[in-house]
Chain A
Amino acid sequence: MRDAFVRALVQEMEINPRIVLMTGDLGFGVLRPIWDQFPDRIINAGIAEQGMVGLAAGLAATGRTVLVYSIGNFPTLRPLEQIRNDCAYTKANVKIVCVGGGFVYGSLGMSHHATEDMAVMRALPDVTCFTPGDPAETEAVTRVMLRTEGTCYLRLGRGNEPKIHDGPVEGWKMPEPIVIREGKDVALLSAGGILTQAVEAAKLLDEKGISAEVVSFPCLKPMDAEAVRKLTERFRHIVTVEEHNVTGGFGSAVCEIAAEGGNGCRIHRIGLQDCFTAVVGNQQYLREIYGMDGKSIAEKAEAWIHEA
């Protein structure tokens, strides 16, 4: 996703000379194409995220689209008030980009596990939140984000994720969810790079004779309420999957819409169960430990649909 983002960004920077990228002293190697091609339009703000986001708001006020790039919680939780007051409140054209949503930096420890960012960013008015599920979705979303006015948040995974889409995602319109595969017994809704696990779960459920629909939500906010309502009408059980705390995140967002819709669909939230991580390990290991790998999702989904 990281590289897909940079690829799309470079193309957009070629078209739009007013796009500038700011990094919080991170992106070694990853941002190389931008340093090489646009040395005057990439700024290292240092390890000073509050200053960086304030600078970005001021720079955006001079008629620029400013991307703020960092990893994990550093571009969100650390300068949160600057995002709220200086960017969102002024509708500044600042795009906050996080690499490492979820357990990407699994072995580095809890400080580097971004597991509340979606909830926190979603709670800010006038912030559009993007959670693409694979490299192709990332390219499409990046282009749309750079044409979306105001403050945005882009939550990426890591580099070299498996592709879910065979080709590019073309003609995507915000905030449409993307149906990855159709099914009839249960719907697995996913936000972000955990999409691979939802797809894996659907394959495992196939073997049990359970037909699972998989839907990716590249746009977390605004959420496509109409699409969610239709899913709640078609399915008796919906499972939401996020590499994130279940409190306030993607599953919560789906529940908010479904509850207001008022039909009897049951929603089950898979994610971190309102706790911090207590162990380290690689991303896939932590997904398994915290019950959000493909196998765990399939087992839970099977149990839930056999409930009344």
Chain B
Amino acid sequence: MESYEALVHSAFGGKQPDVTDPDVLAWLIRRNGLEMSHISRGSHIGSVFSAAEIIAVLYTGVLHVDPKNPKMPDRDRMILSKGHAGSAVYAALAETGFFPVEQLKTHYGNGSILSGHVSHKGIPGVEVSTGSLGHGLAVGAGMALGAKMDGEAWRTWVVLGDGECDEGSVWEAALQAAQFGLDRLCAIVDYNHMQSLFTVEETLRLEPFEAKWKDFGWNAQSVNGHDTKALRAACERAKENAGSGKPSVILAHTVKGKGVSFMENNILWHYRTPQGEEYEAALKELEAQRP
């Protein structure tokens, strides 16, 4: 029987995919996300697809991390605060060598350590477990505060959801990070404009979103969250932010379900898992897009 790894890499015709290319890694995140959701009948594929380029850009040169030494003291810390997109991070970590790609097939299953929401227990490269929204920014700010107190140069990156920004605790942490001048903290919001039931606009309006962050004392930029070059440039600007005394946020405008036409902007795919014809159709669309 064909291995899981061979299956998700089959579109590369026997060649090893170049996981240092952010577009290739983003594609692999979607390909793994589709397969993991298909095997496990797990949910949140729409969020995995919207965050694919954000996560891919982080793990192709933005984050200072080493898969061979995941606890390296001066590594950058990365927290996926929107823990339900955990399979995007699991896929990125596995594809870049933190743990075997084959392990991804256990995601969501009985006895697996790869929980539906991202977990740090036994998984190299994951700093903290999340899943309940509104936790990650404060924890990341605490790490950045510790680094600042120690005069360390490493950075802390926190990926937030837009719906997550309904949580008051996000804004507590936003005030605290600004107050403590954490200019090596960078938040990236996966701004896919969709929540669990309705759009962000129909739920709790966040606009003017960039202005909100700026008013809270952050440096803010908005980019197309599916353009890996634009995202990379935004991350580099966020790095240059060190010394400004302000934390940095990137509002990455994305499309929920990006990459599969019938999943895009469709809240159903916050929950639905691709099976049968839908799985085949999604796979066909992804294969047509392989970089």
By a beta-carbon cutoff of 8 Å, the part of chain A in contact with chain B is 20, 40, 43, 45-46, 48, 50-64, 81-82, 85-86, 89-90
Contact = CB atoms under 8 A, between A and B. Distances in A.
A100 B77 CA distance: 37
Contacts of A59: 142-143, 145-146
B139 A46 contact: no
A20 B146 CA distance: 10
B144 A58 contact: yes
A225 to B, nearest CB: 28
B22 interface: no
Contacts of A61: 77, 127-128, 139, 142-143, 146
Interface in B131-179: 131-132, 134-135, 137-147, 149-150, 156, 168-169, 172-173, 175-176, 179
B172 A85 contact: no
Nearest to B143: A58
Interface centre among A43, A57, A58 (most CB of B within 10 A): A58
Interface centre among A46, A50, A52 (most CB of B within 10 A): A50
Contacts of B139: 54-55, 57-58, 61, 86
A53 B146 CA distance: 14
Interface of B: 77, 120, 127-132, 134-135, 137-147, 149-150, 156, 168-169, 172-173, 175-176, 179-180
B87 to A, nearest CB: 19
Nearest to A57: B139
A59 B156 CA distance: 12
Contacts of B140: 58
Interface centre among A20, A61, A64 (most CB of B within 10 A): A61
9 contacts: A46-B179, A48-B172, A48-B176, A54-B135, A54-B169, A58-B139, A58-B143, A59-B142, A62-B142
Contact of B175 (A51, A62, A81): A51
A89 B129 contact: yes
Contact of A63 (B131, B134, B146): B146
B166 to A, nearest CB: 14
Nearest to A54: B138
Contacts of A55: 138-139, 141-142, 145, 173, 176
A55 B147 CA distance: 12
Interface of A is mostly: helix
Contacts of B149: 20, 40, 62
A286 to B, nearest CB: 32
Contacts of B142: 54-62
Given A62-B150, A89-B129, A90-B120, 4 more contacts: A51-B141, A62-B142, A64-B146, A90-B129
A56 B144 CA distance: 11
Contacts of B127: 61
Nearest to A20: B149
A85 B135 contact: yes
A50 B141 contact: no
A49 B248 CA distance: 23
A53 B128 CA distance: 14
B176 A45 contact: yes
A117 B162 CA distance: 33
A86 B129 CA distance: 8
B129 to A, nearest CB: 6
Contact of B137 (A54, A62, A85, A89): A54
A46 B135 contact: no
Interface centre among B128, B130, B134 (most CB of A within 10 A): B128
A174 to B, nearest CB: 26
Given A46-B175, A50-B168, A51-B176, A58 B138 contact: yes
Nearest to A94: B142
A224 to B, nearest CB: 30
Contacts of B138: 50-55, 57-58, 82, 86
A45 B140 CA distance: 14
A89 B143 CA distance: 17
A81 B137 CA distance: 14
A38 to B, nearest CB: 12
Nearest to B141: A55
Given A59-B143, A62-B147, A63-B146, A85 B129 contact: yes
Interface centre among B138, B142, B175 (most CB of A within 10 A): B142
Contacts of B132: 81, 85
B175 A58 contact: no
A70 to B, nearest CB: 14
A150 to B, nearest CB: 15
A58 B146 CA distance: 8
Question: Which are the 6 A-B pairs with shortest beta-carbon distances?
Answer: A58-B142, A54-B138, A62-B146, A51-B172, A48-B172, A55-B142
Interface centre among A53, A55, A64 (most CB of B within 10 A): A55
A86 B147 CA distance: 18
A63 B135 CA distance: 20
B179 A58 contact: no
Contacts of B168: 50
B104 to A, nearest CB: 23
Contacts of A20: 149
Contacts of A89: 129
Contacts of A45: 176
Contacts of B175: 46, 48, 51
